[in-house]
Structure 1
Amino acid sequence: MAMSTLPPFADVVSSNLEPDSPLAQTLTTLFETSPILYSDLVPGLASYIASSPSPPTSYAELITATLQVVSTWDVSLKVRFIAGHPRIGEVKGLSQLSAREQAARATPPEVIVRLAHLNACYEHRYPGLRYITFVNGRTRMAIKDEMEGVLGLEPSLRPDDPPVEAVGIVEVGSEEWTKELERAVEDLGKIAQSRLKALGPG
């Protein structure tokens, strides 16, 4: 299967708001498809481009503009935005780029199982959030270690230790919870820039 490609940039910045428009196609490739992408991000970014005295002139600048639009959203919209990205360790239903980034075939089964438990722990500790990280070529084993560090856990391959409830709960809207949300959004921008480099548009 051929790698995804991006439409001509001139078409992107002059496109309409339809789900199959060049702008929507580009955002889907760089940020993953999700309902909020079509309902809020595409029209918000189109409005930003139309009203900006210095509209983006490249895909890299388009990603920066996208994050600028997302930064103006309330918490509930940001949560829905990061929820459009697959969980670390998922192996089914991934976009072509996500599958390549997560290097599914190189991961031992016990690491996949451990990551599923760590995702559950993370989502219990940070209600409403999903763990997002810029993989940047790292293995899932390395990401497992990173997640354990975030959760304050010792490195392990045990599939269900500790119990999910043992990691505690961080209050929604608290400083710690909000920092995790903002970090996730920032990492989505890093992922998008990395995808852009992998696609190699002009």
Structure 2
Amino acid sequence: MTSLPAPSTLPHASDEELTHVLDLLFEPSPPLRTITLPVLRSATFPSYDVLITAVNAQLNALAISSDPAHLNTLSEILCAHPRLGEKKVDSEQSRKEQAQLNTGGEAEAEKLAALNREYEEVFPGLRYVVFVNGRARPEVMHNMRERIDRADVRAERADAIQAMCDIARDRAAKLQNVDA
């Protein structure tokens, strides 16, 4: 399993190493790299929690912007996360995190796919992001339904950013001090 370097070493790491760290914590996302690499180069983070908090602040700044380009960048970052229940998931971490979502029956899988489609119709340009954290498919689908019914794009962006950062914190905890 891959491990993370000490966060204090990041300002001196190569772009390739920094990209690898970001891709492990979040999902591979060129727009996230573009906005985050300069911060990783210019600040020393005492912990991954502090680093993720800084990324959270960057993403929330995009979310409250009135500039359509900023909102588009945020959408691209959030859409780097795979749809829940998708058969083809590129990220090893996402595959593990979503494993229990693929244990239900075909009817549940179809309902989840329909919820993904409905979500993306209600929130064009966004993808449902949630910190699954061991929850079963029905519980996750209930959360998805509540968020669709709320139909509040600003709240949705905030929830997706928070979920993305919660996922990153969980990954950081699992990937620190792991023997390569």
TM-score range relative to shorter protein: 0.7 to 0.9
Give the gaps of 5 or more residues in structure 1: 153-169, 171-175
SS at match of 1:72: helix
Which structure 1 residue ranges, 4+ long, deviate > 4 Å from structure 2?
none
The residue type equivalent to 1:57 in the other structure is P
Equivalent positions of 1:104-115 (< 5 A) are 104=100, 105-115=102-112
- Alpha-carbon deviations, 1:131-172, whole Å to 9, x = none? 1111111022221122123334xxxxxxxxxxxxxxxxx6xx
Aligned length: 170
Structure ID, larger Rg:
1
Q: Within the alignment, does 1:66 sit opposite 2:55 as a pair?
A: yes
The match for 1:14 is 12
The match for 2:123 is 126
What is the alpha-carbon root mean square deviation over aligned residues? Answer: 2.2
The structure whose RCO (Cα within 8 Å, separation 6+) is larger is 2
Q: Within the alignment, does 1:30 sit opposite 2:6 as a pair?
A: no
The residue type equivalent to 1:99 in the other structure is R
Higher normalized helix content (fraction of residues): 2
**Equivalent-residue separation in structure 2 for 1:30 and 1:201 (angstroms):** 14
Identity %: 31
The match for 2:77 is 81
